[in-house]
């Protein structure tokens, strides 16, 4: 009797299992679109989710294009020159329109631990502001790991030194041509302590346009933004920056800002045209 009952139980269980396997479970093998077509509420939720994602993405983008007022130039006019009052600002827009005070010297200059084209000489142009110097060290280290060997050529430059360089260049090529490549004293980014001219052995450590076509120049153009630097005077932007193409001149602006400028192909001037003040 027990054997018969056992067989009956097994038979019934098998029937139940077979029945379960043959149940038509809706949507189990259907694509999301097919599910949505059969379920209007699901379609509505999917559409709302898409809108939320788009709204969040737009909000993040707008947020990234907003800056505190302290990062914009604060200007006062001195003898007809627009001087930057907040000169320590790491985003100071220094160009042919806006100048640094002649007396401005960054108080946090350091000598980065990177190879220099002039060796171990402890001279003015081997210095950068601390934050920029640290970022430069990281960038040079990453380049070396990729078998790219960079050399720092010229960093911080005082007002007096800039004046001497300009006068020397004017003596060689004339004022008009000199001003296409050399800034007026006070209007050079080098005085900020945030800019570094970079070269390589492949161009004999010179600052020449041919650097653009070297492995080192290409690596810098594609990777500098990862470390907070931008190619400050790019090709075809001369009318915006006021200076000729300089594939060797890199300016520290911070990682977030550098990535925004790189992504959009903006110069520092264009960046300030796009960002809004908080």
Confidence of residue 66 (pLDDT cuts 50, 70, 90): very high
Q: What is the pTM of this model?
A: 0.77
Report the C-alpha gap between 205 and 152 in whole angstroms.
9
Distances (CA, A) of 270 to 208, 235, 278: 25, 14, 18
Q: Do the strands 276-277 and 229-233 form a parallel or antiparallel pair, or are they unpaired?
A: unpaired
Residue 37 among the catalytic residues: no
Please identify which of the residues 83, 189, 216, 246 carries the catalytic annotation. 246
Report the C-alpha gap between 265 and 143 in whole angstroms.
22
- pLDDT tens string 201-225: 999 999 999 999 999 999 999 999 9
Q: What is the pLDDT of residue 27?
A: 40
Q: What is the pLDDT of residue 181?
A: 84
- pLDDT tens string 137-158: 999 999 999 999 999 999 999 9
Long-range CB pairs of 68-75 (<8 Å, 24+ gap) are: 68/277, 68/278, 69/277, 69/278, 72/272, 72/277, 73/98
Neighbours of 178 (CB within 10 A): 17
Mean pLDDT in residue range 256-265: 98
Show the domains of the chain with their CATH numbers.
2-63 (no CATH), 70-277 (3.30.1380.10)
């Amino acid at each position: 009797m027990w054997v018969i009952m056992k067989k009956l139980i097994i038979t019934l269980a098998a029937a139940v299992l077979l029945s379960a396997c043959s149940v038509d479970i809706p949507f189990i093998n259907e694509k999301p679109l097919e599910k949505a077509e059969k379920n209007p509420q699901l379609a509505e939720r999917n559409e709302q989710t898409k809108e939320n994602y788009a709204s969040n993405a737009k909000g993040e983008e707008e947020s990234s294009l907003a800056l505190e007022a302290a990062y914009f130039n604060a200007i006062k006019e001195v003898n007809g020159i627009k001087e930057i009052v907040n000169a320590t600002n790491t985003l100071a827009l220094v160009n042919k329109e806006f100048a640094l005070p002649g007396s401005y010297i960054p108080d946090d200059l350091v000598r980065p631990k990177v190879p220099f084209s002039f060796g171990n000489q402890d001279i003015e142009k081997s210095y950068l502001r601390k934050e920029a110097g640290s970022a430069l060290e990281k960038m040079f280290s990453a380049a070396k790991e990729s078998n790219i060997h960079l050399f720092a050529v010229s960093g911080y430059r005082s007002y007096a030194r800039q004046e001497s360089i300009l006068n020397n260049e004017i003596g060689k090529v004339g004022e008009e041509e000199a001003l296409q490549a050399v800034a007026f004293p006070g209007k050079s980014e080098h005085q900020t302590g945030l800019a570094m001219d970079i070269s390589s052995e492949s161009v004999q450590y010179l600052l020449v346009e041919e650097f653009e076509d070297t492995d080192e120049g290409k690596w810098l153009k594609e990777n500098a933004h990862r470390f907070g630097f931008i190619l400050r005077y790019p090709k075809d932007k001369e009318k915006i920056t006021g200076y000729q193409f300089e594939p060797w001149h890199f300016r520290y602006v911070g990682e977030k800002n550098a990535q925004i400028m790189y992504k959009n192909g903006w110069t520092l001037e264009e960046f300030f045209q796009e960002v809004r003040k908080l």
